[in-house]
Chain A
Amino acid sequence: GLIHPNVLKHVGIDSKKYSGFAFGMGVERIAMLKYGINDIRLFFENDLRFLKQF
Chain B
Amino acid sequence: MKVTYQWLKDFLEIKLSADKLADQLTMAGLEVTSLEKCSGDVVFEIEVTSNRPDCLSILGIAREVAAISGVKLGSRCSVFSSRLKTKNLKPKTRLSREQSRENLSLKIKVEDKKDCPLYTAKIIKGVKVGPSPDWLKKRLESVGCRSVNNIVDITNYVLFEYGEPLHAFDLSRLRGDTIIVRRAKSGEKLTTIDADEKTLNSDILIIADQDKPVAIAGVMGGKDTEVTQGTCEILLEAAVFDPVLIRRSRQKLGLQSESAYRFERGIDPQIVERASLRAAALIEKIAGGRCIAARELGRAQSKSRVISLDLSRVSINLGVNIALSRVKKILVDLGFKVKAGRKNIFLVEVPSYRQDLSLEVDLIEEIARIYGFESIPTTQPAIIPKVTRDDRQELVAITQRTLVGIGLKEVITYSLIDKGLLADFGFDAQEVIEILNPLSSEQEVLRPHIIPSLSRCIAYNLNQKQDYASIFEIANIYSASGVLPREELVLGIAFSGVQAMLFEQGAIKEEFSLLHLKGIAETLFKRLGIKDYDFINQGNPETAMIYVNREHLGSMVRLSRAVLDKLGIKNKEIFGLEISLDRVFSHASLKKQFRPLPKVPGIARDISVIFKESVSIKQALARIAEMGKPLLRAVNIIDCYQGKQIPAGYKAFTISCEYRSDQRTLTEAEINPAHAVICKELTERFDARMR
Chain A contact residues, CB within 8 Å of chain B: 2, 4-6, 19, 43-49, 51-52
Contacts and interface: CB of A to CB of B under 8 A. Distances in A.
B642 interface: no
A6 B466 CA distance: 55
Contacts of A4: 361
Contact of A48 (B361, B413, B461): B461
Contacts of A5: 359, 361
B79 interface: no
Contacts of B409: 48, 51-52
20 contacts: A2-B361, A5-B359, A5-B361, A19-B317, A44-B412, A46-B412, A46-B413, A46-B461, A46-B471, A47-B460, A47-B461, A47-B464, A48-B466, A48-B469, A48-B471, A49-B464, A51-B409, A51-B410, A51-B411, A52-B409
Contacts of A52: 409
Interface residues of B, number: 17
A6 B362 CA distance: 12
Given A4-B361, A51-B409, A44 B414 contact: yes
Interface string B450-481: 00000001001100101001010000000000
A43 B461 contact: no
B505 to A, nearest CB: 26
Nearest to B413: A46
A4 B364 CA distance: 12
B404 to A, nearest CB: 10
Considering residues B316, B411, B471, which has the most beta carbons from chain A within 10 angstroms of its beta carbon? Answer: B411
Given A2-B361, A49-B464, 10 more contacts: A19-B317, A44-B412, A44-B413, A44-B414, A46-B461, A47-B461, A48-B409, A48-B466, A49-B466, A51-B409
- A-B residue pairs, 10 tightest by C-beta: A46-B411, A51-B409, A46-B457, A48-B461, A48-B466, A48-B469, A5-B361, A48-B409, A47-B464, A46-B413
Nearest to A19: B317
Contacts, number: 35
A19 B409 CA distance: 43
Contacts of B414: 44
A36 B557 CA distance: 39
A47 B461 CA distance: 6
A31 to B, nearest CB: 13
Contacts of B471: 46, 48
A48 B359 contact: no
- B contact patch SS: mixed
A6 B359 CA distance: 10
B361 A45 contact: no
A2 B368 CA distance: 12
A45 B361 CA distance: 43
B147 to A, nearest CB: 40
Contacts of B464: 47-49
Nearest to A21: B381
B363 to A, nearest CB: 13
Nearest to B461: A48
Given A51-B409, A51-B411, A52-B409, A46 B460 contact: yes
B216 to A, nearest CB: 36
Nearest to A1: B365
Contacts of B469: 48
A37 to B, nearest CB: 15
Contacts of A47: 460-461, 464
A21 to B, nearest CB: 8
B353 to A, nearest CB: 22
Interface string B412-433: 1110000000000000000000
B455 to A, nearest CB: 12
Contacts of A43: 412
Contacts of A51: 409-411
B220 to A, nearest CB: 37
Contacts of B461: 46-48
A19 B317 CA distance: 8
Contacts of B457: 46
Contacts of A6: 359
Interface in B461-514: 461, 464, 466, 469, 471
A4 B414 CA distance: 34
A9 to B, nearest CB: 11
Interface string B341-373: 000000000000000000101000000000000
B359 A2 contact: no
Contacts of A2: 317, 361
B211 to A, nearest CB: 50
Contacts of B412: 43-44, 46
Nearest to A4: B361
B357 to A, nearest CB: 13
A37 B414 CA distance: 21
Contacts of B317: 2, 19
B470 to A, nearest CB: 9
A46 B472 CA distance: 11
Most buried by B among A45, A48, A52: A48
B52 to A, nearest CB: 16
A19 B66 CA distance: 32
A47 to B, nearest CB: 6
A45 B460 contact: yes
A24 B533 CA distance: 43
Nearest to B318: A2
